[in-house]
Amino acid sequence: MADLSTNLAGWKLSNPTMTCSGTCGYAFEYADFVDLSKLGAFVTKSITREERPGNEPARIVETRAGMLNAIGLANVGLDRFLAEKVPLLKKMPCPVAVNVAGHSFEDYVETCAAMNGLSCVAAVELNVSCPNVKDGLTFGTHPPRLKELTGQVKKVLPDKKLIVKLSPNVEDITATARAAVEGGADILSLVNTFTAMAVDIHKRRPRLANVTGGLSGPAIKPIAVHLVSRVYRGVAKSAGVPIIGMGGIQYWQDAVEFILAGASAVAVGTALFVDPATPVRICEGLEQYLDKYKIGRLTDLVGALELPGDEPRQSPYQ
């Protein structure tokens, strides 16, 4: 049987599957539907310093091969997270990463600092797709600002792995990936959702109350694979920084694409709404795939994609 374990900058997971932030609640919301001990890791929804009610409905709409959401970071805020959710996370049967969002440097730093002392939290994932209240500029789309934010957060998280989650809504994702790595990110995750819009043709209005939202699901998968490949080859491989790939992963074949493109782990979001046991099915498929090609360890597959111009190497597919 192939070895599915993976290693994210020293963070060892029994298998490469994770949940995508915001699609699985804070802890045990999915426990009735899926055996959480089978996950490589669980990622919470975004936590902010202040409690947030989020946007007005409609804040989720289904689109062809995808989903558009404008939840608006609805969450209980740091104080309630610590009081109500952390006791639950302590009982989680798999490693946990907490996703943190903010609207100022201070927001991020204060919330992340509170995570450093929590033994039940192995890693913090920064959601940097939020605008800064001071000037409206998104943290994750301006490389110097992203580097600064990553550096400030890294200082208050000496005991945790720091994951920076990249936005795809940029001209050159390798520039933001490099900024995150230079700021001290241990791990990169990509991608967050793509800004998009759906129209109600009868009302002649946007279907989301917020007008625009983030597109996720199978519709974005080929773009996400391309971005993972670019970041792996352009930044992550040479820096030795592992990637968590996400965006439209539904079947084990999707996971293989991301892993070949350079991901050391894969996260599942929108597909959980169709089948919460998707990560378990992905692991079963990965095992069969690795056995079929007599590949002993999943990690041997990471970045094994061959592109024109690459040095030829021994292919497991012959």
Active site residue ranges: 130
Q: By CB under 6 A, is residue 269 in contact with ligand FMN?
A: yes
We find the least distance from the C-beta atom of residue 296 to ligand FMN, in angstroms, to be: 28
Residue from 121, 188, 249, 283 binding ligand FMN (CB under 6 A): 249
Choose the binding region for ligand FMN from 148-156, 230-238, 269-277, 299-307 (rule: CB under 6 A).
269-277
**Residue 58: is the preceding peptide bond cis (ω within 30°)?**
yes
Show the tokens assigned to 149: 């934010």
Dihedral-angle region of residue 102 (phi above 0 means left; psi in -120 to 50 means alpha; beta otherwise): beta
Choose the binding region for ligand FMN from 82-90, 108-116, 267-275, 294-302 (rule: CB under 6 A).
267-275
Q: Which is nearer to ligand FMN, 2 or 219 (CB)?
A: 219
Residue from 210, 229, 270, 278 binding ligand FMN (CB under 6 A): 270
For ligand FMN (CB under 6 A), the number of binding residues is 26
Choose the binding region for ligand FMN from 15-23, 81-89, 109-117, 202-210 (rule: CB under 6 A).
15-23
Q: How crowded is residue 307: how many other Cβ atoms within 10 Å of its Cβ?
A: 8
Q: Which is nearer to ligand FMN, 179 or 271 (CB)?
A: 271
Nearest Cα neighbor of 82 from 117, 52, 107 is 117
Write the CA distances from 253 to 49, 172, 244, 250, 289, integer angstroms: 38, 27, 16, 8, 9
* DSSP SS3 for 93: coil
Closest-approach residue to ligand FMN (CB): 22
Which stretch of DSSP H or E encloses residue 204?
none
The three-state DSSP-derived secondary structure of 68-85 is EECCCCCECHHHHHHHHH
Who's near 154: CB < 8 A, 6+ residues apart?
162, 183, 184, 185
Residue from 8, 16, 18, 22 binding ligand FMN (CB under 6 A): 22
Which stretch of DSSP H or E encloses residue 281?
helix 278-292
Residue 308 corresponds to which amino acid? P
Q: By CB under 6 A, is residue 217 in contact with ligand FMN?
A: yes
Choose the binding region for ligand FMN from 131-139, 167-175, 212-220, 231-239 (rule: CB under 6 A).
212-220
b/e 224-243 (16+ beta carbons within 10 angstroms → b): bbebbbbbbbbbbeeeebbb
Residue from 15, 21, 141, 278 binding ligand FMN (CB under 6 A): 21
Q: By CB under 6 A, is residue 176 in contact with ligand FMN?
A: no
Binding mask 142-161 for ligand FMN (x = CB under 6 A): --------------------
CB hemisphere CA count around 315 (13 angstroms) = 9
Phi, psi of 289 (to 5 degrees): -65, -50
| Segment 75 to 134, residues that bind ligand FMN, using CB under 6 A | 99, 127
In the complex, the residues that contact ligand FMN under the rule CB under 6 A are: 20-23, 45-46, 67, 69, 71, 73, 99, 127, 165, 192-193, 216-217, 220, 246-249, 268-271
